[in-house]
Amino acid sequence: MPEALDLLALALQGGSSLGSAARHVALVLPPPLREELDGVGRDLLLGLDPGPSWAAAGPRWRAARLSMEIAALAGVSPGPALRQAATDLRRHAVARVEVATARLGVRLVVPLGLAFLPGFVLSTVVPLVLALVRDLSW
């Protein structure tokens, strides 16, 4: 998704219309994204309202839709907004991976602790305590 938003921003900054940029970018996307963006591009080239076209594309394209709407309301090019949306999506993906990695670390440490702690106690602590008790008993 972030790469698709970057490509869309590049096509728009290169001077393409939104409909033609969407159709061109859709050609290089994998199948589920291809059909969604191609439908948006086709509707925009026909002059249809972009709101329902983006809504029909699905929730994956929410960032693109919001970027386009904000840029249209502000009267500016949507390229920088699309690039920022792509950066935000990448940042969220990295954060999800970091959280999953931290959870994995905890899940690996708990079984190891449960397996080695009793062995450590039985092989080290119990003999030490028994030796101390024997020496202290009179």
| Residue boundaries of the structural domains of the chain | 1-138
Tens of pLDDT, residue by residue over 26-63, are 888 888 888 888 888 888 888 888 778 888 888 888 88
What's the number of CA atoms in the CB half-sphere (13 Å) around residue 26? 19
Element (DSSP H or E) covering residue 90: helix 79-120
Instruction: Give pLDDT, residue 137.
Output: 66
Cβ 36 vs Cβ 57: under 8 Å: yes
Enumerate residues 6+ apart whose C-beta is below 8 A from 125: none
Instruction: Give pLDDT, residue 95.
Output: 95
For CA atoms 7, 8, 14, 16, give the dihedral sign: positive
Tens of pLDDT, residue by residue over 76-106, are 888 888 899 899 999 999 999 999 998 988 8
Instruction: Point out the least confidently predicted range of 86-90, 95-99, 111-115, 129-133.
Output: 111-115
Instruction: Give pLDDT, residue 138.
Output: 58
Instruction: Give pLDDT, residue 14.
Output: 83
